[in-house]
Structure 1
């Protein structure tokens, strides 16, 4: 049953991260052709943005070491296919294969910057700057991921002003879009509202903001709804709830795309996603991985008679 909610966007763009953020957390490498088929099925289900892979050094993320083999298999799909790059070398690899969108990843906290990038926050921003400039000059769209926006496993709750400072730096650098990550899933709706308000006051418009919630404490959908009520219309999600974070062991799975679509469909918000096709894709992927999907919606719909 569809019951529209007041003060919500008419349409939400789902930024699907399962093929990259989801699979990078697997213990073993998924075969390249299986990854390519996953991307194809996600696109066929109506997801217009599917983050394909990451051009990070294989030493750090061996699960995505096949980026050069994978991307040519999917780059001609009629959807947006952003890829993650950590530095100029990663950008070179992405450009050589015809990537049209990239993402860089920063941290709002010093502890996670050290764990993930082996640099301070400011050193990591200095590293990204030439990568972002070159990408823009090459005509690419650039997204800036910002991790640990609400809590950090080493530092605890993250002050709003600390997040705003790094987000403002990424925006000033030229990132078209900022994805605010609740990497360990500790955010609650009031905290989400406070951060979004502070970002607006600092000159970062809601139109440039996306949200990326993890469901560690079961808050991902409520946090998403809080963001939607604030005007956010881009939401990251992972098919089947795949993923976590290899550098923060307390991080559990991403918000499941199916759970998000079920909520948005019920609110009358357009996504362009065929929920039945998406659920079938996640059931198929769960079979490839040898375990059931953690998505409640996938479990409910796949067990219906």
Structure 2
């Protein structure tokens, strides 16, 4: 992956964007109003032909039913393949296997397999459930035994906050790959050099599956900063500076957020990256704009 500053050779400025692939992450709605907003966002983004859309799973499996409802509706009402998040927490193997089989029967063929956060949320001490899958590599192996699921897993360019080192974290990723993982999606990051160095270390460790960068548009700098501090993702000083003084200026904040995300994604394209996973926060505006800059356009139905 090489960053080339010659505008005539910049990949992001070429006319052929056919190799660009995107996927979108949503979380299940808690209220009727939130559900309307979610499906409006889905309706805006699905015409861009994402490779899949994923639906998250709350801490301790707290959104299990809502996740299932959202994913199965995607199967019924759209042509876009959905991916259901599934975690190890707060359930026995039998219970998790039952959920996986129900997804398969509903037509879901893709699972995002995660260890998951304890019921108390990020930062609480994790304890494997007695009789459950202890870690995500165990869950990956279990899913592969149940059916021919495509399985995505998490990767951490700055290491998981509970991991003792980046080497130990990469060992954990390798265990997931050895168990059958097909793809890794990264925690969000803002320094592309960090991602590039991570991918280089992963490849040196013999891991060859795609390492798809996870991108989060900064709708709210305060909210993203708080989540980043809990998730082990760093927030560069330059990023804080760009949002400084915009707390009460949503219009300018939106413009800055668009510029920041576009700068990051287009730089990754120039480094040879062609696949992106967007953490949408159930909002379509910034993600749609970034995808437009990537060259993606809504597919137009041809007349019969």
TM-score, normalization by structure 1: 0.60
Cα separation, partners in 2 of 1:10 and 1:149, compared to 1, 3 Å: same
Query: How much is the aligned-residue C-alpha RMSD, in angstroms?
Result: 4.0
CA distance in 2, matches of 1:172, 1:7: 33
SS in 2 for 1:232: coil
Question: Is 1:51 the equivalent of 2:53?
Answer: yes
The aligned residue for residue 165 of structure 1 is: 171
CA distance in 2, matches of 1:83, 1:115: 24
1:1-305 correspondence runs (5 A): 6=10, 11-17=19-25, 19-20=26-27, 23=28, 32=35, 35-36=38-39, 38-43=41-46, 45-54=47-56, 56=57, 60-62=61-63, 65-76=65-76, 77-86=78-87, 87-106=96-115, 115=124, 118-119=127-128, 123-135=134-146, 138-146=147-155, 148-150=156-158, 159-182=165-188, 185=189, 187-205=190-208, 208-214=210-216, 215=218, 216=224, 217=235, 218=239, 221=262, 223-225=264-266, 227-239=268-280, 242=281, 256-265=286-295, 271-273=296-298
Unaligned runs of 5+ in 1: 244-252, 266-270, 275-305
Cα separation, partners in 2 of 1:134 and 1:255, compared to 1, 3 Å: farther
Q: Which has the larger radius of gyration?
A: 2
SS in 2 for 1:66: helix
CA distance in 2, matches of 1:58, 1:190: 31
* Number of equivalences: 234
Cα separation, partners in 2 of 1:153 and 1:67, compared to 1, 3 Å: closer
Following superposition, the deviation at residue 234 of structure 1 comes to 1.6
Following superposition, the deviation at residue 237 of structure 1 comes to 0.9
TM-score, normalization by structure 2: 0.60
